[in-house]
Homo-oligomer: A and B are copies of this chain.
Amino acid sequence: MASFRERLHEIVFEADTPAGKAFDVVLLFAIVLSILVVMLESVASINAAYGKEFGIAEWFFTIIFTLEYVIRVAIIKRPLKYIVSFYGLVDLLSVLPTYIGLFVSGAESLLILRSLRLLRVFRVMKLTRYLSEANVLGKALVSSRRKIMVFLLAVVMVTIIMGTLMFMIEGGVPDSGFTSIPRSIYWAIVTLTTVGYGDISPITTVGQIVASIIMILGYAIIAVPTGIVTAELAKPPVIANTQNCSYCGEEDHLDNAKYCHSCGEGFK
């Protein structure tokens, strides 16, 4: 029979039993509600009407999440490991801003960090399968990190040079948005990523020609990250042949190998 502490551990930390799942679902609703409160509080007209209610709700959720945090620290066997873990830090960050807000005004907006707690949704739904999908995406990003860094450095240099070029062309023109090199680099980034706000755009003919070249060539450049991620995701899984040579221990044999390619030992 489970002790009270073990029972509490099951409810708070696990999601396989009905009680544990119910706890996580209630928690998710509380998180979503508290995020909505922070959002609506920032809308001036709504805050004017319901400011007091929002303040109460904020403290209500903060006290609930603080209690939950204290319980988690109290019942887990190795509290320090939880506290410095990713989930532990997120749980702490989702209550701290309210307390800080007592001394520093404006800190309440940091409560939005609570949205990171939404990651718990994977625990409530078919946990492991979704996490493994996240793993696949994460691994694809990690194993192409060097290609991505090379690409990012290339983008930074292209935008610096192109931005300066446009500043030299359009800088002196009246009503031009290219008033300084940093602003022109900002424009180059907005253009290269095809976001294109239009708050700054070339007005001289030469500027429009250079901008057209940046857009077309830039499109080819920007196709690269898609290519990197796709190629990584499309990679065939590593050949699963787990045969080790019994003589020399060599691995990575072809699937149809009958003899070790390293020492010539025959496979049984």
Using a CB–CB distance below 8 Å, which chain A residues touch chain B?
35, 38-40, 42-44, 106, 109, 112-113, 115-116, 118-119, 121, 129-130, 133-134, 136-137, 140-141, 146-153, 155-157, 160-161, 164, 167-168, 171, 179-183, 185-186, 189-191, 193-199, 201, 205, 208-209, 211-212, 215-216, 218-220, 222-235, 252-254, 256-266
Contacts and interface: CB of A to CB of B under 8 A. Distances in A.
B208 A197 contact: no
Given A44-B180, A130-B149, A186-B208, 16 more contacts: A35-B160, A43-B179, A43-B181, A109-B168, A112-B164, A137-B151, A141-B220, A185-B212, A186-B211, A226-B226, A227-B232, A234-B235, A252-B254, A257-B261, A258-B262, A264-B266
Contact of A233 (B191, B227, B256, B260): B227
11 contacts: A112-B161, A186-B211, A196-B197, A219-B222, A219-B225, A226-B226, A226-B227, A230-B231, A231-B234, A234-B234, A252-B254
